[in-house]
Amino acid sequence: MKVLVTGGAGYVGSHLVDKLLATEHDVVVLDDFSLGKRENIQHNLSSPAFQLVEGSITEPGTVKKVMDGCELVFHLAARVGIKYIVDDPLRGILTNVVGTETVLKEAYRRGARVLFASTSEVYGRSKAVPFREDGERLLGSTSVARWSYSSAKAIDEHLALAYAREGLRVAIVRYFNSYGPRLDPVGYGSVVAKFITQALTGRPITVHSDGQQTRSFTFVDDTVEGTILAATMPAGEGQVFNLGNGREVAVLELAQMVKAITGSASPIEHVDYSAVFGPNFEDIPRRVPDVEKARRVLGFEAKVPLEKGLKVTIDWMKRTLGD
Ligand SMILES: NC(=O)c1ccc[n+]([C@@H]2O[C@H](COP(=O)([O-])OP(=O)(O)OC[C@H]3O[C@@H](n4cnc5c(N)ncnc54)[C@H](O)[C@@H]3O)[C@@H](O)[C@H]2O)c1
């Protein structure tokens, strides 16, 4: 099958591309390299089954061209990362809303199936933990820029489901803190990447606030497996799935694990949110997926234990930082 992966030079996208090529698909990647990296896809450039197009999801002509002959579209391209969103909310909103509408419209026009990569951010700071796909969303004021990412992705989900009513075959997945090799060590602020980089370079491991906020960390192989299942199983159509690991981990505990596995002498320091994100920042105290629906409908379960996934990621980062 010929498939399009938007954002295929990014962290999750490039792993997805590797898996799709390994399972005999022809893959077209559309990426504008605003956040993605050539080294993520370099090893595939010589493959006859791989095609790279540099361009934006916000350009209808480009989207039309790259989708030619594609039966399935994995739509991962987005402005990602709370720090980037807070720094430039307009760019985030326009990329994530206009770009997604452009991709959905073209897929609908030609009858291609779509997988849309959404986010656990859509739940905001809902108190209904673990988050169920049909649970409520709880967001702060529109004057707090961080919520624009959640809102844009939620509008994208609404759009996808509205197109589904018109006949588009689309599945939506909400990722929960995916981590693994190719995370940008200096990028948008994956907490895993940040802690490992700090630990390996001997700088203090900086934990926001008291570190009791919790997350669910999902190794990228699991993220990719769930993504492909949702995209290809008929039961996924018109549905939303949490793709995450059910284990709830406090951010301070993550810092301690990274320190222990790396054997780093870095101290763990607590910093105020406002020092990093400016005043008015609002964080999410607990973010944990209800994993039952993905298990029941897709047969998906995150398998890689955090300790094992961290070791793999740390080994990769050691090699990258050593280059
Ligand atoms: N990594 C996570 O834990 C996580 C969590 C929740 C949701 N997601 C979602 O998963 C998807 C992939 O995220 P990621 O972590 O791999 O981030 P990433 O930044 O590594 O990947 C996004 C890719 O999209 C590309 N891109 C951005 N704007 C574009 C545009 N206008 N046109 C074409 N390409 C563009 C970037 O260059 C990058 O390669 C995103 O949609 C993101 O919202 C990721």
* Residue 196 is assigned to a structural domain of this protein: no
* Residue 168 is assigned to a structural domain of this protein: yes
pLDDT score recorded for residue 323: 62
Is the shortest distance between the CB of 8 and ligand 1 below 6 Å? no
* Residue 155 is assigned to a structural domain of this protein: yes
* Residue 268 is assigned to a structural domain of this protein: no
Q: How many residues does the chain have?
A: 323
Other beta carbons within 10 angstroms of residue 200's beta carbon come to 20
Q: Report which ligand 1 atom has the smallest distance to the Cα of 37.
A: 39
Is the shortest distance between the CB of 218 and ligand 1 below 6 Å? no
Strands (E) in 236-320, as ranges, are 240-243, 249-250, 268-271
Task: Identify whether 149 is a catalytic site residue.
Answer: yes
pLDDT score recorded for residue 83: 82
pTM to 2 decimal places: 0.97
CA gyration radius, the chain: 19
* Residue 317 is assigned to a structural domain of this protein: no
Q: Which amino acid residue places its CA nearest to atom 31 of ligand 1?
A: 56
CA of 215 from ligand 1 middle (Å) equals 19
Cα(174)–Cα(316) distance, rounded to whole angstroms? Answer: 25
CA of 219 from ligand 1 middle (Å) equals 16
pLDDT score recorded for residue 284: 86
* Residue 142 is assigned to a structural domain of this protein: yes
* Residue 192 is assigned to a structural domain of this protein: no
Is the shortest distance between the CB of 157 and ligand 1 below 6 Å? no
Mean pLDDT by 10 residues, the chain (323 residues): 98 98 97 97 98 98 98 97 89 97 98 98 95 96 93 98 98 98 81 95 95 97 98 98 97 98 98 75 88 98 98 96 75
Q: Which range marks the domain in which residue 237 is found?
A: 2-179+218-245+289-303
CA of 182 from ligand 1 middle (Å) equals 12
Check which CATH number belongs to the domain holding 227 and give it.
3.40.50.720
**In contact, 16 and 227? CB cutoff 8 Å:** yes
* Residue 284 is assigned to a structural domain of this protein: no
pLDDT score recorded for residue 2: 98
Catalytic residue among 84, 149, 163, 188: 149
> Per the structure, how many domains does the chain have?
1
pLDDT score recorded for residue 150: 96
Strands (E) in 141-213, as ranges, are 170-175, 178-179, 205-208
